[in-house]
Amino acid sequence: MKSAGLRVLTVVSSAFEENCYIAHLDSRGDCLVIDPGLEPERILRELERRKLTPAAILNTHGHADHIAGNATLKHRWPDSLLVIGAGDAPKLTDPMLNLSATFGMDLVSPPADKTVTDGEVFSAAGLELEVLAIPGHSAGQVVFLCRGNDPPVAFVGDVIFAGSIGRTDFPDGDYDALVRGIRSRLFALPEETLLLSGHGPATTVAREKRSNPFVGMG
């Protein structure tokens, strides 16, 4: 996917069909890696093939399928910043909290180099991303929004999907909070905003406002 000068590549891990995104500007050799999943070797190959160096690894939330590749990427590029919402930082190093223990994996990540909070702007690789806290699927879930593109691009993790929303039956899930956050935060964005989800195809604010059966507003 290409939007203005922003190019976004998708690497899908077969386990859980989780989307990892590699975002970079055409004019630069550094990039952002968002939510590296359970097949980090595929992400490494893509980065090396395109001669891209991660300036930062961003986690939208701390569930295992979104943080599994952190350690591999940090080992290869130790200077890259590992970033996550402050509320989900404990999940990185706790298999019970990140739910990997449920699947018998006991997966852990290196700790965060930086935590972010609602309203903060994170800058790296020539990109500025606004942080929107939208809890409900995970208590510390954040969305990374790149407003400086046409159209804007939002890396939404498991907040919303094409025609669906994130699960809220986890220990720190909250259905009402998730619906409220989607309607008040995501649906307030320009309708052409691209929503790049943690699973499944891309969608837009306009499409989900019209037709999402869980949060659509007609």
pLDDT in tens, 150-195: 899 999 999 999 999 999 999 999 999 999 999 999 999 999 999 9
Are 150 and 193 in contact by the 8 Å Cβ rule? The answer is: no
Distances (CA, A) of 109 to 72, 101, 103, 151: 9, 13, 16, 33
pLDDT value of residue 217: 82
Are 65 and 18 in contact by the 8 Å Cβ rule? The answer is: yes
33 torsion bin: left (phi>0), alpha (psi -120 to 50), beta (else): beta
For the chain, count helices (H), then strands (E): 5, 15
C-alpha R_g of the chain: 16
pLDDT value of residue 167: 97
Q: Where are the domains of the chain?
A: 2-211
Cα maximum dimension of the chain: 47
Q: Share the mean pLDDT of the chain.
A: 96
pLDDT value of residue 131: 98
Residues of the chain predicted below pLDDT 50:
none
pLDDT value of residue 103: 87
Per DSSP bridges, beta strands 114-116 and 81-85 are parallel
| Cα gap 60→91, rounded to integer Å | 12
pLDDT value of residue 148: 87
Classified by CATH at the fold level, domain 2-211 comes out as Metallo-beta-lactamase; Chain A (3.60.15)
Residues with Cβ within 8 Å of 104's Cβ and at least 6 positions away in sequence, in order, are: none
Are 217 and 209 in contact by the 8 Å Cβ rule? The answer is: yes
pTM above threshold 0.85? yes
| Cα gap 102→207, rounded to integer Å | 34
